[in-house]
Amino acid sequence: MDADDTTTVPPRTVRPLDATTWDAFEELCASSAGYPSGCWCNGFHEEGLTRDASCNRDRKRTRVLSGTAHAALVFEGDRCVGWCQYGPVSEIVHIKNRRRYDATRETPLPDWRIGCNYVRAGHRRRGVAATALRGALDLIAAAGGGRVEGYPEPAGTVPAGFLFHGALSTFEQAGFERDRMIGKHRWVVTRTVAPVR
């Protein structure tokens, strides 16, 4: 048993990404080697990514402060250890395998999309992604609910650090159902979230 196995983990809480949580989100992004330190979870937005990490950070901050970027942040104590990006279709515009998605779509566009589901290295395989996804669904319910789509891949098809869209099993455990495949491993999954009354 290593030292990590005997360490007490602080209780987890979920908070929305906003001006009050920006610093914790910024620390998580900046501390990551590679993704998301360059992306800042902008790849799904209309303006997309640039090759300049500071520009991507500034774009994300502008969106957060204007209320046009949404995510459920998972905290262990005061430290942000993961997030689940979500938003309406007008906010989460770009998705992987878009041509196949459009060619096979038989239903109206969803009300909400799940974009990125990221967990800090050292905290993976401990339920953080599931907590983040549940947090996003709770925030969606508070915002009026509706039909939600995600675009996960089965765990094991790519390394855990590259499951940016989340693991298929995590979505299924959260009540999503498989709709169709749009890539070699990528699924469209859907779930309807009731509004909080």
The tens digit of pLDDT for each residue in 59-74 reads 889 999 999 999 999 9
**Residue appearing with tokens 């779509």:** 105
Q: Is the pLDDT of residue 42 over 80?
A: no
Domain ranges of the chain: 12-193
Calpha distance 100→146 (Å, rounded):
24
Q: How far is CA 66 from the centre of its chain?
A: 19
The tens digit of pLDDT for each residue in 7-36 reads 677 789 999 999 999 999 999 988 876 555
- Does residue 117 contact residue 163 with C-beta atoms inside 8 Å? yes
Calpha distance 119→49 (Å, rounded):
20
**Residue appearing with tokens 């990404």:** 17
pLDDT score, position 57: 86
Q: Enumerate the β-bridge partners of residue 76.
A: 12, 79
What is the amino acid identity at position 87?
Answer: G
**Which percentage of the chain shows pLDDT scores above 70?**
91
Q: Enumerate the β-bridge partners of residue 73.
A: 15, 83
Q: Where are the beta strands (DSSP E) in the chain?
A: 12-16, 70-76, 79-88, 112-119, 146-150, 177-181, 187-193
The tens digit of pLDDT for each residue in 146-180 reads 999 999 999 887 776 677 788 999 999 999 999 99
pLDDT score, position 3: 47
Q: Which of 188, 195, 12 is nearest to 95 (CA)?
A: 188
Superfamily of domain 12-193: Gcn5-related N-acetyltransferase (GNAT) (3.40.630.30)
Q: What 3-state class would DSSP assign to 42? A: coil
What is the amino acid identity at position 48?
Answer: G
**Residue appearing with tokens 């094991």:** 156
Write out the two tokens for 22: 């920006």
